[in-house]
Chains A and B, each alone.
Chain A
Amino acid sequence: MLNIDDLKVSLEEEEKQIIKGLSLSIKPGEVHAIMGPNGSGKSTLSSVLAGKDGYIVDSGTVNFEGSDLLEAEVEERAALGIFMAFQYPIEIPGVGNMNFLRTALNSQRKTRGQEELNAADFLKLVRGIAKDLEISDEMMKRPINVGASGGEKKRNEILQMCLLEPRFVILDETDSGLDVDAMKLVSKGVNNFSSSSRSFLVITHYQRLLNYIVPDFVHIMVDGRIVKTGDKTLALHVEETGYKDFLQLGKGKH
């Protein structure tokens, strides 16, 4: 589904390479977790996959279901089925959640050459998803993320995911700022959404989220590279000993 081959990425503003040769292959239905200390390049990876400005791809390729992902515009990637749940979801004053969701869904459908969803079908769909995630009607009427708590914002991200039905989901530090109950709710949303044709890339600093969203593979990222890959027990190991064992591995490759 997604093939990253020897990717090297620098910041646009300063000549500093953040990702220094990263390869990763993700098949349909797989859940991959990337863990690593601060500054290891985890968030840069998610930004580059989603197409955010401010990064220069020095070399390497990213192939998504046969197409060159790096060539596509941000909104085209979204229409291809790439979704990123933001670490810090953005507030947009004055723009109602419903309006935003409908515009997003129909924009994607249009790009894919599908018919737009009518108002009635759309409302039914959204209300169903909102109910599962315990998001109130009142919340849905508010402008996007304005005045929402950390937990509400993250649930909103999951609602957008369920509505837009992407095939490849990046969860960027989705656990940050969540209490245990909120984390359970968010994880339930993700697990209900997962299927044999959908893949996830879970970016996280801590192991605890992986108790709820169980990964098939865990990658340890240090200094712009994946230095170790294992199964879910690798995450438990990190939880016990921290990243210090892996820092050396990163340096060793210089």
Chain B
Amino acid sequence: MTDNYEVRDVIDRETLSTVKSVGDTYKYGFSTDIETEYAPLGLNEDIVKLISKKNNEPMWMLDWRLKAFNRWKKLKQPDWALLKIPEIDFQDQYYYARPANMKEKPKSLDEVDPKLLETYSKLGIPLTEQKKLAGVIEEKHEDKSENRKVAVDAVFDSVSVGTTFKEELKSAGVIFCSISEAIKEYPDLVKKYLGSVVPISDNFFACLNAAVFSDGSFVYIPKGVRCPMELSTYFRINAENTGQFERTLIIADDNSYVSYLEGCTAPQRDESQLHAAVVELVILDDAEIKYSTVQNWFPGDENGVGGIYNFVTKRADCRGRNSKVMWTQVETGSAITWKYPSCVLKGDNSSGEFYSIAITNNMQQADTGTKMIHLGKNTNSRIVSKGISAGKAQNTYRGLVQIGGRSQNSRNFTQCDSLLIGNKCGAHTVPYIEVNNSSARAEHEATTSKVDEDQLFYCMQRGIGEEDAVALIVNGFCKEVLQALPMEFAMEAQKLVAISLEGSVG
């Protein structure tokens, strides 16, 4: 038996005991009592200017935002997804909120409000480097390889509160900082790449983001560098009635590699909150990016009150030859999810992979999937989607595979599996396949199944309680995707799978 195998086994077991120990369904529902400074309610040109000013941005950035804002005013919210979206009043939102004592950005983590740090530690994010190290040792006890470090950027409402391991990364040539900082410190890189993957007017929500994004993360991996540690951003919405619009830009220069993790939570509130993020990945010759997300925004209560509306545009541009991208997402939160992390495979021999687990319970709705746009020769894409519906939830996989006329010998493999728990929920699969080159091959497999009574009985006859049995079966169903995640995230994800399905049987 391999070591990895046994480690997995330990994780699975820990998952079950964690489920038992968690009393509350959404354990990140607390809010932090911290003085918050808001921009005035609503959205107009002055708000855009104010956000730009708060971030001390140069003129070119403000111009970019204003261009986006003027474009956005002419756009309509899309309605093609299989989602029932209550009308969103974009003038009844705050577009900027930051902890009051963050007027001056802290120079080191020592200057960060202890309440913020406390919040992150409550969320299991060891932000300080010391804590991080302690955390790493705890988590890695089964791993025989050398201890891996994870650098963290934490975004609280609209601002980044601190990035760890900055110095160590700098010595490797890696730039990892908040995007507001990058706009000031690395304007050439930002100017060159910002909006080059997701243009300003790409879609309604991306356009809104371009106008009002307040912060986010920026990563640049220089030529030939393998990023010495995993990079991670942690997003937290705390303030009420506030939208979060973060923007992430990652550039992997020639022959470089980075693995990037993203986690999200929000407090439990009756009012719905808007989240419209944009993530742009640029991958040059022979470079590779792995981007993993565990999204656990507040999903609303069992009657569908409250929760985050999650409208996200994520796209990877495989510009270089032999470039590679892998999206892995575990979507358990949000009242509404509208999200299609995509791969544009421009470079010859480039490849894109998409692994997804989307869980909807109670009244949650998700319309999620991917787009694989094959433009270069010999490009490869692979899609593995696992949708799980429980309660009265609706879960849709929507995916596009497009193989262009010049894309010789390109391949796609798509596998979409849906699992239903109970008989009031729904699962839908909407694949679009457009092939314009006769040398291409696209395969699509889809299954729909139910959590089987006989499987449950078998587990229970062996002494496993019903909820644990469901968690076990569902984690088995998701296994291929969970294995695509970095180890720490896989643990977190397995716990989430179990927690988000609590109360779904019986």
Contact = CB atoms under 8 A, between A and B. Distances in A.
Nearest to A76: B463
B130 interface: no
Nearest to A84: B461
B471 to A, nearest CB: 10
A78 B462 contact: yes
Contacts of A93: 476-477
Query: Interface size class for chain A?
Result: 35 or more
Interface string A61-96: 000000000000111011100011010011011111
A130 B35 CA distance: 61
A141 B468 CA distance: 21
B72 to A, nearest CB: 43
Given A96-B8, A102-B9, A143 B461 contact: no
Contacts of B432: none
B472 interface: yes
A123 interface: yes
A96 B480 CA distance: 13
A119 B5 CA distance: 12
A108 interface: yes
Interface in B63-78: none
Contacts of B463: 75, 78-79, 104-105, 107-108, 111, 164
Interface in B435-476: 452-455, 457-466, 468, 472-473, 475-476
Contact of B473 (A53, A95, A111, A123): A95
Contact of A140 (B1, B12, B16): B1
A103 B468 contact: yes
Contacts of B452: 90
Nearest to B386: A94
A51 B459 CA distance: 12
A52 interface: yes
Contacts of A119: 6, 9-10
Interface in B1-15: 1, 5-6, 8-10, 12-13
Contacts, number: 104
A94 B468 contact: no
B455 A90 contact: yes
Contacts of A123: 1, 6
Contact of A103 (B12, B457, B480): B12
A153 to B, nearest CB: 12
A126 B10 CA distance: 15
A92 B473 contact: yes
B479 interface: yes
B478 interface: yes
A96 B15 CA distance: 14
A204 interface: no
A193 interface: no
Contacts of A140: 1
Q: By CB atoms of chain B within 10 A, which of A90, A107, A119, A137 has the most?
A: A107
Given A78-B462, A78-B463, A102-B13, A107 B457 contact: no
Interface string A30-59: 000000000000000000001111000000
A79 B453 CA distance: 20
Query: Interface size class for chain B?
Result: 20 to 34
Contact of B464 (A90, A94, A103, A137): A103
Interface string A95-121: 110111011111110010000000100
Contacts of A99: 8-9, 12-13, 472
Contact of B5 (A52, A75, A141): A141
B479 to A, nearest CB: 4
Given A92-B455, A102-B9, A123-B6, A50 B461 contact: yes
A75 B8 contact: no
Contact of A53 (B6, B453, B459, B464): B453
A63 to B, nearest CB: 20
Q: By CB atoms of chain A within 10 A, which of B454, B461, B464, B466 has the most?
A: B461
Contacts of A174: none
A74 B13 contact: no
A90 B458 CA distance: 7
A160 interface: yes
Nearest to B16: A103
A199 B437 CA distance: 68
8 contacts: A51-B461, A74-B460, A90-B457, A99-B12, A104-B463, A107-B463, A107-B465, A119-B10
Q: Which 3 A-B pairs have the closest CB atoms?
A: A94-B476, A95-B476, A108-B463
Given A78-B461, A103-B13, 19 more contacts: A51-B461, A53-B457, A75-B465, A83-B461, A89-B458, A90-B452, A92-B455, A92-B476, A94-B477, A98-B9, A100-B472, A102-B13, A103-B472, A104-B462, A104-B463, A104-B464, A106-B13, A123-B1, A164-B463
